[in-house]
Amino acid sequence: MTVSVARGSLRTLSKGSGNTRRLVIDAAAKVNLTLEVLNKRPDGYHELSTVMHAVDLSDRLVLEDAPVCEVHTSAPGVPTDERNLALRAALALRDAAKVDRGVRIALDKRIPVAAGLGGGSTDAAAVLVGLNRLWDLRWPESALEELAISLGMDVPFFIRGGAAVGTGRGEQLSSLSGSSLGLVLVNPRFQVSTAEIYGRVTPAMYSDGGRAGQVVKALGTHRPDRVAASLYNGLELAARDAYPQIGQMRAALTAAGALGAVMSGSGPTVFGIARSWEQARQIRTRMTRGSWECWAVRTLRGAAIRIRAT
């Protein structure tokens, strides 16, 4: 059985799920089509304006009823204690819903770690959506999103999926209908800490938030060339000096035929926009000659969290 969790449909998902003991879930990554740092707030956080789009590179999670909450993964660099975002999501929901249940989470990482693609955040969203069903909680999506903010600023986005403009620290969302695009993701096989990149931001890298409106308009035309022309990431300026490979991956993508390329989130993954899905696959083939890891992916206009089977 395949059940997609579209916006506003979490109630229907819970129907008849009282006996569910096991769920298999795909949790999709995201890219930032634009990311602007507007300023630094008195609380030390940066004010952002960003446009995020879910893409079909997904982690796979299996949730099973268990006496306690635990997570298992063989992925290098991913903790299995309470630092793991998937486990933190389970513990936070268990406490907030006041249930006396546990879950065993088997996490198969396919999204590169600390890569600017929201891997940990989508895992957390998958656990919230999955446990809402496994534990038969019937929480509305809005309540899950509220709890999600306490886990990380990108987590609410994954509960909604599709495309959205994020403001504030990125967590105040306004959904968009998005567009079906073929993209190529390139990762240099090293990790970058989000905190480090934000630490490198200077006021000279601030901008006024106007780019989000441009990319929203471009998405509405469904023309990949228009979307490619409006890509922007203010954090790339902060990351490029320390990690010259970011500029090299960007240049390689455009040389291989991408219409435009930019870093996603706090990097180091860079993505390029292709004319079509077919061209995305061709670009990916051209890019895999180096030591970089590459994927041809499609943007997802529907749910980022998909329950595949029970």
Active site residues: 30, 154
Binding region for ligand ATP (CB under 6 A) out of 80-88, 96-104, 232-240, 274-282: 80-88
The 153-172 contact track toward ligand ATP, x by CB under 6 A, reads -x------------------
Judged by CB under 6 A, the chain residues 19 through 58 that form the site for ligand ATP are none
Which two three-digit tokens encode residue 140? 């509305």
Closest CB 75 distance from ligand ATP, rounded Å: 7
Question: Total number of residues binding ligand ATP (CB under 6 A)?
Answer: 22
The Cα angle at residue 296 between residues 233 and 270, in degrees rounded to 5: 20
* 90 binds ligand ATP per the rule CB under 6 A: no
Report the residue number, 119 or 182, with the smaller CB distance to ligand ATP: 119
Task: Name which position in 14, 34, 58, 84 contacts ligand ATP (CB under 6 A).
Answer: 84
Judged by CB under 6 A, the chain residues 109 through 138 that form the site for ligand ATP are 113-121, 123
Query: Which residue's C-beta sits nearest to ligand ATP?
Result: 120
* 272 binds ligand ATP per the rule CB under 6 A: no
Closest CB 45 distance from ligand ATP, rounded Å: 13
Which two three-digit tokens encode residue 100? 């006396």
Closest CB 152 distance from ligand ATP, rounded Å: 6
* 80 binds ligand ATP per the rule CB under 6 A: no
Closest CB 61 distance from ligand ATP, rounded Å: 9
Within 13 A of 104's CA, how many CA atoms are on the CB side? 8
Q: How many CB atoms within 10 Å of residue 194? A: 16
Amino acid making up residue 26: D
Q: What DSSP letter does each residue of 79-131 carry, written as one string?
A: --STTSHHHHHHHHHHHHHT---EEEEEEE--SPTTSSS-HHHHHHHHHHHHH
Among 259, 265, 227, smallest CA distance to 246 is for 265
* 244 binds ligand ATP per the rule CB under 6 A: no
Q: How far apart (Å, rounded) are the C-alpha atoms in residues 167 and 177?
A: 17
The 191-230 contact track toward ligand ATP, x by CB under 6 A, reads ---x------------------------------------
Task: Name which position in 79, 140, 210, 244 contacts ligand ATP (CB under 6 A).
Answer: 79
* Alpha carbon distances (Å) from 82 to 7, 69, 71, 154, 254: 29, 10, 9, 18, 41
Helix (H) or strand (E) holding 287: helix 277-287
C-alpha 55 chain-centroid distance: 8
Q: How far apart (Å, rounded) are the C-alpha atoms in residues 263 and 95?
A: 37
Spatial contact of 73 and 87, defined as CB atoms under 8 Å apart: no
Report the residue number, 191 or 282, with the smaller CB distance to ligand ATP: 191
Task: Name which position in 34, 179, 266, 279 contacts ligand ATP (CB under 6 A).
Answer: 266
Q: How many CB atoms within 10 Å of residue 46? A: 18
Residues in contact with ligand ATP by the rule CB under 6 A: 77-79, 83-86, 113-121, 123, 152, 154, 194, 265-266
